[in-house]
Structure 1
């Protein structure tokens, strides 16, 4: 079962997630991070950036791979995920931009871009910690409902719901791309640690289905139930439909107590 941590708000969640990532980078200087975009991971990136400014760490070997990219959107576009990752992760954290990658969404032989990205991840030794959000329809990365649980990085059509959810980043819904290239569910499952974040009441139904419902392509996020190392950090609103919330709180408190006793011993 995933470790599920219920917190007050996204700021507290970001601080906890950042501490997990900082511990990983400190222990493994050439850590490979899996990077999500959208509004969900912003508090995590902000908290990690603050922590890194006060930590005496060499970040020159840290690498990163974004989950996805819009198809047909040039890298220099302000809402391409290449631009978003540069703006929200690479620059604030002081990472080497040449060691942070997004799937190729433009250029010739675009049908080969998925295989190219898979090869890059494999050459890097795989992803150590994959940051994830979850869509209101249960998607993770851009694996929409119905995606194969064994899928690899590939081109996908975006649902009307996902395009509507992402319209806030564009001037109009018409400007939101209709297709993307995304890491597959099988690709995501190969990361050594999954770190899923969810905030707000509009995520509560999808989160409950992903964490407590049957594993199904209808809720792509449910694939996390099959992973051996998952941390889920959610606010009270997102946790509202979790039937096991009382147990998750008790388990989190017990784990924190064990960790603290180890520090004080």
Structure 2
């Protein structure tokens, strides 16, 4: 594992953007998976103008690693947010986005493996140790791509409804790449910022590997980089 501690959110975002962009410059197909959420917002602001209208980056294909379907909508919450933060500003063509959704999840791993697997994944770290849709009590280390009940844990329904305009839009399940699928990715980069993430960062680095803290298994990955700002690293 590589640990990079930057001074602040801006510096952390610059480093994460640089690492992500660097993986794109290959003379072959590159398959990457990127995270939604608030943490990577600045990363994508930095990346978008570096990628937009660059035909020499048409070799890059994008995969979302989780999705919250929305009744009555063509795209789920994750893809909606990725469109807003990155795909639209960067003018990524639809042909280079391979969505995970309620129609494709049963064959998504087959598609990924058929093109050589995922080369790179940018992840966030949740306060409770979750990443992708792998929340405590929701998935297990042996899972690949799975459906998770919207009522899997006592607070799951509440967490999902926060992302919706109306409660009745909630599906009975959401989708996520499980730990086994994520661990197949050739390179992982995790980003975390702010004092609120400091306890999770400390637990990730010093705690035991267990399903109750889902991200703990990622410490076993042979090519993992953790990028923090000083506040997120303040308890180390």
Q: TM-score range by the shorter chain?
A: 0.7 to 0.9
Q: Secondary structure at the match of 2:45?
A: helix
Q: 1:195 to 1:162 in 2, by over 3 A?
A: farther
Aligned to 1:14: 13
Q: 1:73 to 1:41 in 2, by over 3 A?
A: farther
Task: Tell me how far 1:51 sits from its aligned partner.
Answer: 2.8
Structure 2: tracts of 5 or more residues without a match: none
Question: Counterparts of 1:28 and 1:82 in 2: how far apart (Å)?
Answer: 27
Aligned to 2:100: 103
User: 1:93-132 to 2 correspondence within 5 Å?
Assistant: 93-105=90-102, 113-132=104-123
Aligned to 2:174: 180
User: 1:141-180 to 2 correspondence within 5 Å?
Assistant: 141-146=132-137, 147-157=139-149, 159=153, 169-171=163-165, 179-180=173-174
Q: 1:103 to 1:60 in 2, by over 3 A?
A: same
Question: Counterparts of 1:22 and 1:98 in 2: how far apart (Å)?
Answer: 19
Question: Counterparts of 1:236 and 1:100 in 2: how far apart (Å)?
Answer: 34
Task: Tell me how far 1:196 sits from its aligned partner.
Answer: 0.3
Question: Counterparts of 2:78 and 2:178 in 1: how far apart (Å)?
Answer: 17
Task: Tell me how far 1:124 sits from its aligned partner.
Answer: 2.4
Mapped contact 1:163–1:173 kept (Cα < 8 A): no
Mapped contact 2:69–2:77 kept (Cα < 8 A): no
Q: 1:172 to 1:160 in 2, by over 3 A?
A: farther
Aligned pair count reads: 233
Task: Tell me how far 1:160 sits from its aligned partner.
Answer: 5.4
Q: Secondary structure at the match of 1:204?
A: helix
Q: Per-residue displacement from partner, 1:140-166 (whole Å, max 9, x unpaired)?
A: 101111421121101113545566666
Q: 1:176 to 1:235 in 2, by over 3 A?
A: farther
Higher RCO (C-alpha 8 Å, min separation 6) = 2
1:138 to 122, 129, 132: 129
State the Cα RMSD in Å: 2.5
**Under a length normalisation based on structure 2, what TM-score does the superposition of the two structures give?**
0.86
Q: Secondary structure at the match of 1:92?
A: coil
Structure 1: tracts of 5 or more residues without a match: 108-112, 243-265
Q: 1:176 to 1:94 in 2, by over 3 A?
A: same
Q: Given the alignment of the two structures, is residue 212 of structure 1 paired with residue 206 of structure 2, yes or no? A: yes
Aligned to 2:63: 65
Deviates more, 1:227-236 or 1:173-182: 173-182
Deviates more, 1:204-213 or 1:229-238: 204-213
Q: Per-residue displacement from partner, 1:24-67 (whole Å, max 9, x unpaired)?
A: 111355211111111111111111113335x9652222101101
Q: 1:163 to 1:238 in 2, by over 3 A?
A: farther
Mapped contact 1:29–1:59 kept (Cα < 8 A): no
Structure number, greater radius of gyration:
1
Q: Return the structure number with greater helix share.
A: 1
